[in-house]
Amino acid sequence: MSDSSNHQDSASSNTKSQQGVQVHYRSDYKPYPYDIKDVYLAFDLAPNATIVDTTLTIQRKADADNQAPLCLDGVDLELLSIAIDDKELDQSEYRLIEDGLEVLNVPERFTLTTKVKISPDTNTSLEGLYLSSGKYCTQCEAQGFRKITFYPDRPDVMSTFKVRIEAVADKFPHLLSNGNRIEHGEIEGGKHYAVWEDPFKKPSYLFALCAGDYDLLTSSFTTMTGREVRLEIYVDKGKLDQCHHAMESLKKAMKWDEEVFGLEYDLDTYMIVAVGDFNMGAMENKGLNIFNTKYVLASPDTATDTDFIDVEAVIGHEYFHNWTGNRVTCRDWFQLSLKEGLTVFRDQEFTADQTDHGVKRIEDVKVIRSHQFAEDAGPMAHPIRPDSYIEMNNFYTVTVYNKGAEVIRMYQTLLGRDGFKRGLDVYFERHDGQAVTCEDFVRAMEDANGYDLQQFRRWYSQAGTPEVTVSSNYDADKRQLTLSFTQSCRPTPGQEDKEPFHIPVKVGLIDTLGKDIELKPVSLTDSDARVEGDIVHLKSAQQSVTFDDVPRNVIPSILRGFSAPVKLHYDYSLKELIFLFANDSDSFNRWQAGQELFSRVIFDLCEQQEKGGTLRFDDSVVSATKNLLDDNSLDGQFKSLALTIPGVSTLLEQTNSINIDHLITARDFLKKQLAEKLELDWLLHYQTNRHLGDYEQDKESVSKRALCGTCLGYLMTLEKDSAYQLALKQLETANNMTDASIALQLIVHSNYEQKLKVAEDFYQKWQSEELVINKWLSIMATDPSDETIDRIESLLDHPSFELKNPNKVRSLIGAFTSANPRQFHRADGRGYEYLARQIKSLYAINPQVSARLTGAFNRWRKFDSERQQKMRQQLEVILSMPELSKDVFEIASKALK
């Protein structure tokens, strides 16, 4: 697809084509030559013949070429009529082009009316307007509005919208759109209508429409200026009892945004609609948020503790977009991180304030290390502000979102919380109601604080993960410790050479008693750099800082709180890692010490396998694990995270290439040895934390359930009947989905003879709860046993699975590729063949979902030559598929480059 900017820029020297697929470049941006003052949309909803009447009030901009045609985007639209100022146009006055409409010789000011027919019932892409499970729904970000009507479908065209919806009243009693409902009534023939008006200008990607028969939960919120806002959550019939947590989460988010950032909601009503068939997690459409049911529905019986947290976080995220994304939006899609990185940071801070800051920080960094670092090191590597794209949907990535959030977090680290808040205030004051760029955000931060962020801007333009190597030297006579820093960044596609980043490195020094000592910096090798408090500002390729009055044998604690999204290299001894694992006051670095300790053991075990030796590791690792498990001062959730061995995807990013069979064997060996040598300890802590009374959702109960699950996981590796019985009893007596799903997963992933019967019994019990069955599908798909591929092949025809439903695809196929490394990376290549077959079945149905699945092949060069050959072969198979979607083409072709 091409957007309207490319119609205007068709002569650009940068515009290229790959096998007929157009590449879009940030450097090609030009403002749209017309203002669309007002938009009026009238929908007559029908499954295969929805009629959309559109009226646009248009004025040519003063500096625009008056000979240029009016270019509007449009895909899969049947044009029924077109008129300017009520005069029908003949075919010589307009032309339909591949992905849009050009209107010739338009006046300076005019009203354009079009009538189109669309088919929501056959729209399986879940973009634009579609009919699913008997309800109408829209998804317009990034470029779905062009599937609804002819319009300049780009974020810098902002207009006020008025919308009229009519439909059969008994089938679609609720007719919803953005803004405030100003009119509704009955129509002859059993139909009714509603008219909605949004007083705020918005781009087309924020348009929303929903129509259906829902259950409705209502409440209200009084804002900080005394305005009462009506809150509404619409869900499928019979699901109302699972909405109360979402409603309370919304109220928390509204209050938090007022208290922390002084931001107040601006409409009279805030609506959420939960949809079962949805490509994304949720969508922040102005006043009418559309959510995947996964992030709305939650009750103790059906949702885990993680689900409860995720619902609260996503509710918060979409609400926070009202200011960081809606009131101030992005000029073009290259600036996506302007709204998404900023809003992810805001939802992370919100969740941390509701739960535990240390635990939340660890969870966020786990995503960066396991997924974003892999993206940075792969063929799809891109800066948080990309320079080009073929298909915009492919850039809704962990780099844009999560690394983008880390960049925002660094502003707060550099400027302090007050300075960051001042910068945001300036940003909103300057740009409310505008479509802006990342540069506008940086400038607001600079101007509000008198701070030079010129070098910091490189985080927006340079791809890849910076690597920071640190060494230390202690001068006993002067009682001085010198830390020497080196930063580098490996080449990424299109960027061979990287300039130094501005990296805030938070440091601490810990004495032999486990206490932090006061930092007294005395000299810097680079006069342009500085130390502020506990932050070393690393701005050069090489840099040193010396601290005075340092006692002997201190241990540096570096990159505390993960103060920058970098890979840190420091040659800690095994003894030092164990010391930090037991003593570091920074919870993130305490967790990190354990992760590095476990990783080092695993890679040593891999080397032992390469040499054909007997597998063994130092007993001090066992002692360190026991000491942390027994530390009663620690929260159970933190213990659970700290005692969890790094996953295969995280370990893969710590090495350039590795034998994955050895890696999986080494990881399993370490876990089993820790289980055997600490069996009684795991059992004791399991029994101590196991709660059999009434279900509670408080922090202490959540922590106990988390630690219980970790302890049971270790015990189950022993493959003893006593452990199986513990898991079976937990499953049978569980009064919450956290305990039940953990027990089910451990049983299904074990060698327990009756595990398939247990799985079937669980399915029969929960088959009417779609979100629970999605968990069941994922558990079945991630079973590491050799029968799994045959089993999940059969599940494709199971009543619980539907290829057109993104949640089902992610639960079964996505879980298999991302969380079952033993079977996906089978030496015989069956895992790769299975994925390629599913992509072939899916890409014509839903290009977005199939493209994300294709990304599982991106890191094929990390593996042994035989696996590389098998993955490459499947990528070539994918590229040879007929009429391949450009979403999949972009991922597969870049992977092979």
- Asked if the structure places residue 435 within a domain, the reply is yes
CATH number of 202's domain: 2.60.40.1730
- The yes-or-no answer on residue 318 being catalytic is yes
Pick the last residue of a domain from 411, 430, 461.
Answer: 461
CATH number of 238's domain: 3.30.2010.30
Reported as a single tens digit per residue, the pLDDT across 657-669 is 899 999 999 999 9
410 and 438, same domain (yes or no): yes
Q: Is 597 exposed, middle or buried (0-12, 13-18, 19+ CB in 10 A)?
A: buried
Average pLDDT over residues 454-481: 98
164 and 286, same domain (yes or no): no
Range of the domain at 396: 329-461
73 and 204, same domain (yes or no): yes
Average pLDDT over residues 542-546: 95
185 and 220, same domain (yes or no): no
pTM: 0.96
Question: Residue 84's beta-bridge partner residues?
Answer: 87, 112
CA distance 393 to 852: 10
End-to-end Cα, the chain, rounded Å: 23
Q: Are 610 and 679 in contact (CB under 8 A)?
A: no
* Strand order from edge to edge, sheet including 50-60: 87-88, 78-84, 109-118, 50-60, 34-44, 159-168, 191-202, 180-187
| Cβ-proximal residues to 647 (8 Å cutoff; 6+ apart), any chain | 370
Confidence of residue 3 (pLDDT cuts 50, 70, 90): very low
* Strand order from edge to edge, sheet including 215-222: 215-222, 228-235, 269-275, 288-292, 282-283
207 and 223, same domain (yes or no): no
DSSP track, 699-734: HHHHHHHHHHHHHHHHHHTT--HHHHHHHHHHHHH-
Average pLDDT over residues 89-112: 96
489 and 547, same domain (yes or no): yes
Closest CA to 446 of 430, 466, 435: 430
49 and 164, same domain (yes or no): yes
- Asked if the structure places residue 453 within a domain, the reply is yes
Confidence of residue 529 (pLDDT cuts 50, 70, 90): low
232 and 202, same domain (yes or no): no
> Quick check: 2 pLDDT over 50?
no
> Quick check: 15 pLDDT over 50?
no
203 and 65, same domain (yes or no): yes
Considering the chain, what percentage of its residues have pLDDT values greater than 70?
A: 97
Q: Which amino acid is at 251?
A: K
107 and 199, same domain (yes or no): yes
> Quick check: 146 pLDDT over 50?
yes
Q: What is the pLDDT of residue 524?
A: 63
Q: What is the pLDDT of residue 435?
A: 98
- Asked if the structure places residue 389 within a domain, the reply is yes
> Quick check: 527 pLDDT over 60?
no
Average pLDDT over all residues of the chain: 95
Considering the chain, what percentage of its residues have pLDDT values greater than 90?
A: 95
Q: Is 789 exposed, middle or buried (0-12, 13-18, 19+ CB in 10 A)?
A: buried
- Asked if the structure places residue 647 within a domain, the reply is no
> Quick check: 16 pLDDT over 80?
no
- Asked if the structure places residue 696 within a domain, the reply is no
- Asked if the structure places residue 514 within a domain, the reply is yes
Average pLDDT over residues 512-532: 83
> Of 127, 141, 312, 318, which one is the catalytic site residue?
318
Q: How many domains are there within the chain?
A: 4
CA distance 727 to 739: 9
Q: What is the pLDDT of residue 5?
A: 32
- Asked if the structure places residue 857 within a domain, the reply is no
> Quick check: 268 pLDDT over 80?
yes
> Tokens 């370490």 map to which residue?
670
Helix axes 619-629, 679-689, angle to 10 degrees: 10
* Phi and psi angles of residue 757, each rounded to the nearest 5 degrees, phi first: -65, -40
Reported as a single tens digit per residue, the pLDDT across 765-813 is 999 999 999 999 999 999 999 999 999 999 999 999 999 999 999 999 9
Pick the last residue of a domain from 571, 597, 624.
Answer: 571
- Asked if the structure places residue 400 within a domain, the reply is yes
Pick the last residue of a domain from 537, 571, 605.
Answer: 571
Q: What is the pLDDT of residue 6?
A: 33
206 and 256, same domain (yes or no): no
> Quick check: 4 pLDDT over 50?
no
CATH number of 354's domain: 1.10.390.10
CATH number of 499's domain: 2.60.40.1840
297 and 206, same domain (yes or no): no
CA distance 589 to 415: 22
Average pLDDT over residues 84-94: 97
